[in-house]
Amino acid sequence: MRKNIVAGNWKMNKNVIEAQQLMFQLLDYKKHNATQCEVWIAPPALYLMMAKDVFAHNEIGVFAQDISAHESGAYTGEISADMLASIHAAGAIIGHSERRLYHGETDAHCNVKVKLALDKGLTPIYCNGETLEQRIAGQHLEVVKNQTEVALFSLTAEEIKKVVIAYEPVWAIGTGETASPEQAQEIHAHIRNLIAGKYGQDVADEISILYGGSVKPDNAKEIFSQPDIDGGLIGGAALKSDDFAKIIEGFNL
Asked whether residue 231 is marked as a ligand-binding residue, the answer is no
Out of 168, 188, 190, 249, which one is annotated catalytic? 168
Cα 67 versus chain centre, distance: 13
Torsional class of 58: left (φ above 0), alpha (ψ -120 to 50), beta (otherwise): left
Q: Is 188 in the active site?
A: no
Contact indicator for 49, 87 with CB cutoff of 8 Å: yes
| Distance from C-alpha of 242 to C-alpha of 138, rounded to nearest angstrom | 37
9 marked among binding-site residues: yes
Which residue among the candidates 96, 140, 188, 190 is catalytic per the annotation? 96
**Whose CA is closest to 83, among 127, 43, 116?**
116
Q: Is 174 a known ligand-binding residue?
A: yes
200 in a labelled binding site: no
Known catalytic residue: 70?
Answer: no
Known binding residue 91? Answer is no
- Is 235 annotated to bind a ligand? Reply is yes
Binding residue per annotation — 13?
A: no
CA distance 61 to 52: 9
Other beta carbons within 10 Å of 231: 29
CA angle in degrees (0–180, nearest 5) for 187-193-197: 145
Extract the annotated binding site: 9-11, 174, 214, 235-236
Question: Which residues does the annotation place in the binding site for substrate?
Answer: 9-11, 174, 214, 235-236
Residues belonging to the active site: 96, 168
